[in-house]
Amino acid sequence: MKRGFYLIAILSLLFGCGEDEVGFTSLIGSWTYTTPDEKIKVEFDIVGGDPEILAVTNQKIFVEGEEGAAAVQTEVVTETTFGRLRINANDANLVRPYNIIFTNLKANADFSLIEVESATYTFPWPDEHELTNVKIMRR
């Protein structure tokens, strides 16, 4: 009886080991970023379009915790980079067209985050703030 148990345990270990967990293989997925002062937060999805072009959908903006509809603009998009990504409030409830603009976005090696060279955001209206070394995280 014990011999059978040990055999099953050993076989389970042998067949369960050796396989690396598969990580992310592209930017496709759900993402979020919150400014250091927590005044502006954005959420968005990256979806596959053309094999080498990605699209941003389901974008949301939160201004001081209040969710609003948002519009998105992208420029120079490839499989691993965006030249520019702008998400702006497009919602009468938020009163002003608050926005955040990310410039020179690039996926890290394991696609677990997006590194951004620089960013600007507007809050309070019309004050614009600059950010550097921004990291957009997966949700």
CA distance linking residue 61 with residue 8, whole number of Å: 53
Q: What is the pLDDT of residues 56-108, one digit of tens each?
A: 999 999 999 999 999 999 999 988 999 999 999 999 989 898 999 999 999 99
Tell whether the model's pLDDT for residue 11 goes beyond 50.
no
Other C-beta atoms closer than 10 Å to the C-beta of 17 total 7
pLDDT band at 3 (very low <50, low <70, confident <90, very high): low
For the chain, the DSSP string reads -HHHHHHHHHHHHHHHSSPPPP---SS-EEEEEE-TTSSEEEEEEEEE-STT-EEEEEEEEEETTEEEEEEEEEEEE-SSEEEEEEEEE--GGG-S--EEEEEEEEE-TTSSEEEEEEEEEE-STT-EEEEEEEEEEE-
Q: What is the pLDDT of residues 111-130, one digit of tens each?
A: 999 999 999 999 998 999 99
b/e per residue 66-77 (b: at least 16 CB within 10 A): eebebebebeeb
Tell whether the model's pLDDT for residue 43 goes beyond 90.
yes
Q: Where are the domains of the chain?
A: 24-138
Tell whether the model's pLDDT for residue 13 goes beyond 50.
no
